[in-house]
Amino acid sequence: MVPLKRRKVSASDSAGKTGNNPGEKTPTRFPGVVLFLLEKKMGASRRAFLSQLGLKKGFQVEDVFSERVTHIVSENNSGHEVRTWLNSQDVGRAATAAAARLLDVSWYTESMRAGRPVDVLDRHKLQEQQADEADVVSFSLPSYACQRRTTLDNHNAAITDALSLLAENAELSEDDGRGVAFRRAAAVLKALPAAVTSTRQLRGLPGLGEHSLRVIGDILENGASTEVESTRRSERYKALKILTGIFGVGAKTADRWIRDGIHDLQRLRESGQTLNRAQQAGLDHYDDLHQPVTRAEADAIGEIVQRAVTSASPGARITMTGGFRRGKPTGHDVDFLITDPEEGNEEGLMPKVVSWLESQGFLLYQKTSRNSYLESNEGPGRPSSNMDRFERCLSIFKLTRKEHRAGADGPEPGPGSQAENPPTRRWRAVRVDLVVSPVSQFAFALLGWTGSKLFERELRRWAGHEKAMSLSSHALYDNKQSRYLRASSEEEIFHLLGLEFVAPSERNA
């Protein structure tokens, strides 16, 4: 079959076409008007639609920005934002010198309706006057998160969620330094009293590195960060999230499984991998453990734990710690700190508590470790860490759903069974951590186990860098005086560190 010969295109033909759609002949009716639609905030699909509309009406609409452009049309941008974008382009200075008109999209849509370029009125012009520095409301914050009061009210949730996702991805990739950097940046944004509208407001704030500022700027300008969205869609990130979401599985194990081709729970179950007791329990109860724990459920567990503790030592008491103590309405687990007002009575308490809980059928899994903390006359033998050495029990709790009538739903499924109708099951699995502290260390343990994780990290950093002290969940050691500093309350610890007391509800860094 003989191919058709391509028709030669004359100069007059090509003059009537634009770079947008070279296959369609669109005569230019307004040669003195060359338009460019700015994609920023407008979006690619809307820009494409408006561009095609303009071409059909006989306007010159450039797909690529150049010095020829006489009218720049944008949506939801100020004149300053458009000029800033222009100056980032190779031809930005030339375009600025040519005084291209910066117009709101309303001028463009009115011109489309009229079938010609309408007169440019004041309401069509973008405000180009840059705000004076004095008009920009800048924020100011102390350097350490433990000096700041961070409630659950977050005025910058879209930004902090994005930074937290990048931090989590770094931590799952075992890049702890980068993870901490993103966490500190997110903590700064959480502590701000109002929403950020410009990165200029963040000048001079602590903890905001170049990378974090770039992500923040991207979100403020475009509504989302390309890096964050790319990470969120990454197959590796999604696999790491699923696998490390199994109780007892860390980043190293998950990475090894991924390299073996395991990316989800089904493949893990089919792989024949040998799992330890914790991992098997985590896999069996995966769905339950990924359901948020409510405050009511946490309180119900607290009542059971208190009964167990009282049966072992009538004078002992429990305190709920973690996010619930900071005022969070839900959590991923429940933490309890156990102590006895009589020093030494806490010894041997944990085995009795665990034995009672097991005898009553409340524990689906438990692993207990002994107290390995020894106070040295020479002070702490290692750098401060968020890992303490208290006696503890890491468990998966079987919580009965009281709202179901006994026997109304037929036989109760066994632990780990895959019931066809899960809502009819009369119990759920919940992660519960029990920690026993001597009363002499209780204030430090309470402070350490309340969190947040970053707040505690910053407390230890403040103690070391600003006070030459070593803080842990066991004690506070003054390196200058070479002695331990005792405290019976959190308020005393803050005072010893030279800090204003921060209530638990304000430690949500």
Give the domain CATH number at 273.
1.10.150.20
Distance CA 442, CA 317 (A): 11
Count: domains in the chain: 4
* Beta-carbon contacts of residue 241 (< 8 Å; ≥ 6 apart): 168, 172
Domain final residue pick, 232, 253, 272: 232
> What pLDDT digit, counting tens, does each position of 379-406 carry?
775 544 456 889 999 999 999 986 333 3
Contact 499, 141 (CB under 8 A): no
- Is 335 in the active site? yes
> What pLDDT digit, counting tens, does each position of 56-98 carry?
999 999 998 888 889 999 988 888 788 877 777 765 444 444 5
- Res 20: pLDDT: 44
Is residue 35 domain-shared with residue 98, that is, in the same domain? yes
Report yes or no on 86 lying in a domain.
yes
Is residue 329 domain-shared with residue 473, that is, in the same domain? yes
Mean pLDDT of 427-438: 97
Is residue 95 domain-shared with residue 153, that is, in the same domain? no
Which domain covers residue 444, as residue numbers?
Answer: 293-371+388-403+424-496
Catalytic residue, from 63, 409, 433, 478: name it: 433
* Beta-carbon contacts of residue 460 (< 8 Å; ≥ 6 apart): 384, 386, 470, 471, 472
Mean pLDDT of 323-338: 98
> What pLDDT digit, counting tens, does each position of 440-485 carry?
999 999 999 999 999 999 999 999 999 999 999 999 999 999 999 9
Give the domain CATH number at 84.
3.40.50.10190
Is residue 27 domain-shared with residue 100, that is, in the same domain? yes
Tell me, rounded to whole angstroms, the distance of Cα 288 from its chain centroid. 22
- Res 135: pLDDT: 52
Catalytic residue, from 255, 288, 335, 340: name it: 335
Say yes or no to pLDDT of 201 above 80.
Answer: yes
Is residue 317 domain-shared with residue 333, that is, in the same domain? yes
Report yes or no on 352 lying in a domain.
yes
Catalytic residue, from 333, 388, 409, 478: name it: 333
> What pLDDT digit, counting tens, does each position of 213-233 carry?
999 999 998 889 999 999 999
Is residue 246 domain-shared with residue 352, that is, in the same domain? no
- Is 433 in the active site? yes
Domain final residue pick, 253, 284, 315: 284
Mean pLDDT of 373-383: 69
Report yes or no on 131 lying in a domain.
no
Is residue 338 domain-shared with residue 474, that is, in the same domain? yes
Report yes or no on 129 lying in a domain.
no
Is residue 152 domain-shared with residue 209, that is, in the same domain? yes
* Beta-carbon contacts of residue 286 (< 8 Å; ≥ 6 apart): 245, 246, 265
Confidence class for position 6, pLDDT limits 50, 70, 90: very low
Give the domain CATH number at 466.
3.30.460.10
Is residue 202 domain-shared with residue 228, that is, in the same domain? yes
Is residue 79 domain-shared with residue 215, that is, in the same domain? no
Positive or negative: CA dihedral 420, 423, 426, 429: positive
Report yes or no on 140 lying in a domain.
no
Distance CA 354, CA 338 (A): 12
Say yes or no to pLDDT of 12 above 50.
Answer: no
Is residue 160 domain-shared with residue 74, that is, in the same domain? no
Report yes or no on 63 lying in a domain.
yes
Report yes or no on 346 lying in a domain.
yes
Report yes or no on 182 lying in a domain.
yes
Is residue 365 domain-shared with residue 449, that is, in the same domain? yes
Q: Give me the helices (H) in 322-421, please.
A: 322-325, 349-359
Q: Which amino acid is present at 448?
A: G
Say yes or no to pLDDT of 486 above 50.
Answer: yes
Distance CA 38, CA 84 (A): 12
Distance CA 112, CA 400 (A): 65
- Is 161 in the active site? no
Domain final residue pick, 284, 308, 325: 284
